[in-house]
């Protein structure tokens, strides 16, 4: 899941080398934290949060396959 989010985020931003993704795993849930350069934050979130919502939808669909719940947190 972590690599999926990293791949999507690096394709969206101007500074792909500054994309940082970390994963905090629990028994049933994992939280994926995404951190990008300050000037790329708007590109990851998108207009009215559409890009972030789309990334969360893809993450939910992919995590259903492994029977685990995943959440995406975008850090500033």
- Along the chain (76 residues), what's the average pLDDT of each consecutive run of 10 residues? 94 95 92 95 95 95 91 93
As for how many domains the chain has, the answer is 1
Considering the entire predicted model, what is its pTM?
Answer: 0.88
CATH number at residue 50: 3.30.300.20
Residue 17: partners with Cβ closer than 8 Å, 6 or more residues away: none
Query: What is the residue range of 19's domain?
Result: 2-75
User: Parallel, antiparallel, or unpaired for β 29-35 and 20-25?
Assistant: antiparallel
Edge-to-edge strand ranges of the sheet holding 20-25? 20-25, 29-35, 69-75
pLDDT digits (tens, 9 = 90+) for 18-34: 999 999 998 889 999 99
């Amino acid at each position: 899941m972590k690599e999926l989010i990293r791949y999507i985020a690096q394709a969206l931003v101007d500074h792909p080398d500054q994309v940082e993704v970390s994963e905090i795993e629990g028994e049933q849930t994992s939280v994926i934290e995404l951190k990008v350069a300050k000037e790329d934050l708007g590109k990851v979130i998108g207009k009215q949060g559409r890009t972030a919502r789309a990334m969360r939808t893809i993450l939910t669909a992919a995590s259903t396959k492994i029977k685990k719940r995943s959440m995406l947190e975008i850090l500033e």
